Chains A and B, each alone.
Chain A
Amino acid sequence: MKAAPDPRVAALAPEPCADMLIRLPPIRVRTGAGEVAGFLRETGDARTGGFVPVTFPARWLALPAIRGLILQLIGGDGFLPVHEAQSFAYEHELQIETDYVLAVEGRRTAKPPRLTLKMAVSTSQGEICAHLETVLRIVPLNLEPAS
């Protein structure tokens, strides 16, 4: 999840500290057929038929604004986010080739050192479709050269 911090996040976020919570402005996304097909192909799901897999929204964690949020909450180089837990809860199935809006907040806790992202996926009309929660463990890197 290496990326330059999104300037929108940098403008919102305080300097990293022990515990903090950041909410992003709404983010527009789309369930493009090509992206869904590629995701299905690489996750061992042989089905076809124009549906969106349950775990597909995890792809949106890689959006520049959310990557920037993660980097901001981690607090700089020398640490790596390691996925510890993930959940998806659906009110409605997502539809292919459809626009959605993400509401994202990230919380960092110092004890234990964790980063929790909560994402709500809504239709353009504001109807909630799904909630995601991502828990990342913040692992310090051993930057000594390997012997």
Chain B
Amino acid sequence: MIEAGIEPAPPDWPRAGDEIRAQNFGPFAREALARYAAVSGDDNPLHLDPNAARAAGLAGPPVHGMLMLSCFEPLIMRWRRDLFIARLSGKFLRPVLAGEGIRVSGRVMRRRDVPRPELTLRLIARAQNNDLAILGEAAVLYKIPDPLS
């Protein structure tokens, strides 16, 4: 049972093909990766230690994949506040190195109105050099926005 209203879709409910305007996140300096490691607990040396990164075949520490995947939620919720993110997934395709930022964007792939308003979103995070860093997908449901959030 997913927590979302069973209200009908609002008049401005998005349609397949609608774009979510791209937003930039970062750049993620090494200090930012250290702070993320502290709050997430992910202190894998790959992300924090240049020697560990080199030993894994990388030119430098990569940004945590989960840090980049987490950027999709603010992207979606700045686009529309009347959504519940029921599913979010991502494949980490290319590393983004410390010091770089990402550009995240999305597109509505599918709209469903019954049994409840639902959208399937394709989500993309690209590195500065335009490499595809994360290919993601989300399923979002309509819900009445919380006036306090």
Residues of A within 8 A of B (CB): 1-2, 35, 38-39, 41-51, 53-55, 58-59, 61-63, 80-93, 139, 141-143, 146
Give the nearest-CB partner of B44 in chain A.
A1
Q: Sorted from nearest, which 9 A-B pairs have the closest CB atoms? A: A62-B41, A87-B89, A49-B149, A43-B70, A38-B39, A83-B65, A45-B74, A55-B70, A141-B55
A85 touches B90 (CB 8 A): yes
Contact with A along B76-105 (1 / 0, CB 8 A): 010000001111111110000000000000
Could you tell me the dominant secondary structure of chain B's interface residues? mixed
B130 within 8 A of A: no
Distance of A49 Cα from B81 Cα, bound (Å): 13
- Report the count of interface residues on B (CB-CB < 8 A): 45
Other A-B contacts than A55-B66, A146-B54, 18 sampled, CB-CB below 8 A, are A1-B42, A2-B44, A39-B39, A42-B39, A43-B36, A45-B70, A53-B70, A54-B70, A58-B40, A59-B40, A61-B42, A62-B43, A80-B52, A83-B92, A85-B90, A85-B91, A87-B90, A91-B2
Give the nearest-CB partner of B42 in chain A.
A62
B65 touches A86 (CB 8 A): yes
Enumerate chain B residues within 8 angstroms of A143, measured Cβ to Cβ: 55
Distance of A35 Cα from B40 Cα, bound (Å): 9
Distance of A47 Cα from B70 Cα, bound (Å): 13
Distance of A1 Cα from B45 Cα, bound (Å): 7
